[in-house]
Amino acid sequence: MPTRLLGLPPWLPGVASMVDVRLLAMTDDPEELVCRCARNDYYDGKIPDDDFPTVMNGVGGDTVDEKQATLVKKLMLRGHWGVFEHPQMTLWFRVSRSCMAQITRHRHVSFDIQSMRYVDFSEVDPTSEEDIKRPRTWDQEKVSTREGTRAIEGPVEERRELIDETYERCVEAYNQLVDAGMPKEDARMLLPIGTKVNITASMNVRAALHIISMRGAGDAQAEIQELADGVRDVLEEHMPTTMRIWNENQKAIERQRLSP
């Protein structure tokens, strides 16, 4: 088995690999929908019949944008998260099976996951961060987790070699068993938990904010923090007012109240 003690390994040591998060579909005008649904509770007309400026009459602000910001801020600070359940979005992302086990704990999200039972993983590149997630702390001398702070012993080069050789051997063994006729659903047991799979996930905006709040926290594991950052990027692009107010008022927002 070749070693890689010199130069940079293919998975870019010391450089965090961001999770690839892509938007497949999203409710049109999600912030307008939030406001329309919130206004419906106290509006004496029929919100489908009136244009948005009319629906927003009575909300503080000189322009429709200002009124929208006023209402969104009031909803957030008062904990009225139900109206954020109306806009929906569907995401595609690629994460390790380890991260998959964490994100699928969110029960208000619908998931479809690439099957290791039916999909052939023989082309997985054990040296590529695109295919297998590397341990974040492989090159660190000390690490802090929820379990405390501890030193990591041994030369960095030896750790890197151990990781590379183990991943390469796991993929090689998987291929040998599949080539020998073993079903993929059984041979997959040998693939590392860091092996990446493609996932589609549909959720409402409240669930997405909950993911950002819980999984983007500093004590969350590194890969799922990257996933939460990707979800945040989608919302910041498509719901800029909501995310600006969210970012400006973090101390006033209790994250547990987001939980559906």
DSSP character string of 84-153: GGSSEEEEEEEEEHHHHHHHTT-TTSEEEE--TTTS--TT--TT-TTTBPPPTTTT-SEEEETTEEEE--
pLDDT band for position 259 (50/70/90)?
Answer: low
Residue 10 lies in a domain: no
Is 215 known to be catalytic?
Answer: yes
Percentage of the chain exceeding pLDDT 90: 75
Residue 143 lies in a domain: no
Residue 172 lies in a domain: no
Say if residue 7's pLDDT is above 70.
Answer: no
What does the mean pLDDT of the chain come to? 89
**127-139 tens-digit pLDDT:** 999 999 988 877 7
**128-187 tens-digit pLDDT:** 999 999 888 777 777 777 777 787 888 888 888 999 999 999 999 999 999 999 999 999
- CA–CA separation, 32 and 36 (whole Å): 6
Structure confidence at residue 254 (pLDDT): 65
Structural domains counted in the chain:
1
pLDDT band for position 255 (50/70/90)?
Answer: low
Structure confidence at residue 241 (pLDDT): 97
Say if residue 48's pLDDT is above 90.
Answer: yes
What are the angstrom distances between the C-alpha of 204 and each of 49, 84, 165, 190, 193?
Answer: 25, 7, 42, 36, 29
Structure confidence at residue 13 (pLDDT): 40
Residue 80 lies in a domain: yes
Residue 171 lies in a domain: no
Task: Name the strand (E) or helix (H) holding 200.
Answer: strand 196-204
Residue 122 lies in a domain: no
Residue with tokens 């082309």: 123
CATH number at residue 218: 3.30.1360.170
Say if residue 190's pLDDT is above 90.
Answer: yes
pLDDT band for position 257 (50/70/90)?
Answer: low
What are the angstrom distances between the C-alpha of 181 and each of 71, 184, 186, 188?
Answer: 61, 9, 10, 13
Residue with tokens 């183990």: 166
Residue 237 lies in a domain: yes
The domain of 43 spans 24-89+201-258
Residue 1 lies in a domain: no
DSSP 3-state of 201 = strand
**196-207 tens-digit pLDDT:** 999 999 999 999
Candidate list 36, 188, 215, 232, residue with the active-site label: 215
